[in-house]
Amino acid sequence: MNLFESEQRVVDAAERLAATLGDDPNHSVAAAAMDTAGRIHTAVNVFHFTGGPCAELVVLGVAAAAGAGPLLTIAAAGDGGRGLIPPCGRCRQVLLDLHPDVLVAVPTPAGPQLRPIRKLLPDTYVFPDADGSRIVRFHKRHYETVASGRKTVTVRHDDPIALGPALFVFEDDDEHRTLRGTVTTVERRTFDTLTAEHARLEAGATLAELRSGLLQHYPGLSGDDEVEVVGFVLEDGREAAPPAGSSATP
């Protein structure tokens, strides 16, 4: 998953902070995380023989202290020019439980890529009492149709969405607009059986356009692949309040 400009800023923030480390062996990794208002929170690890917290866990606390709410993106980088580093197993489990929809920046031969946290822990245990806030991501072009109530369904592939309350986030939106809503239905069916009625297409939209858009967003999607038809409603049709202490700009 390639990075938006706003997501690249998270990687840059982690690497920039990591470049200042190195004099103290107790602090050798930096982390950065972006909240839904576009603010980037940073922190470093605390090494100790009793099991000091990794930088990713420290930045979760820093973000929580700032009233950040659910986090969108997180990245960690090592000192000494090590660059971007993936999270350890403990951090992956904590992220999955507390921020189940966060995207994690990982190093690849092609450069930084984002992975949904669930992809970093396949078939893992999920702590039932964690109750992490849920996020549903939309392309920013859908803000007006979602906000007006004209769009009440989204179709996803390999992108599980849970029933219940969620914060609707519009990716790479300069204004960091969000809406609160509830996912009311999730229907699974194969791509080739998807109909206009299932997708509740907006006036003027066609099934062919929907299929084409899904194939562009999910390259390699075949007729036998399962998709999820997700129905949702807004919470009183009102925009979500920004995280505490935030402003319109990051």
Active site residues: 56
DSSP SS3 for 97: helix
DSSP SS3 for 116: strand
CB-CB neighbours of 1 under 10 Å: 12
Quick one: which H or E segment has residue 214?
Answer: helix 207-217
Distant-in-sequence contacts of 145-150, Cβ < 8 A, 24+ apart: 145/202, 146/170, 146/179, 146/234, 147/179, 147/234, 147/237, 147/239, 149/234, 149/237, 150/202, 150/203
Q: Tell which residue, 15, 24, 34, 132, has the closest CA to residue 82.
A: 15
Helix 89-98 to helix 55-65 angle (10° resolution) is 30
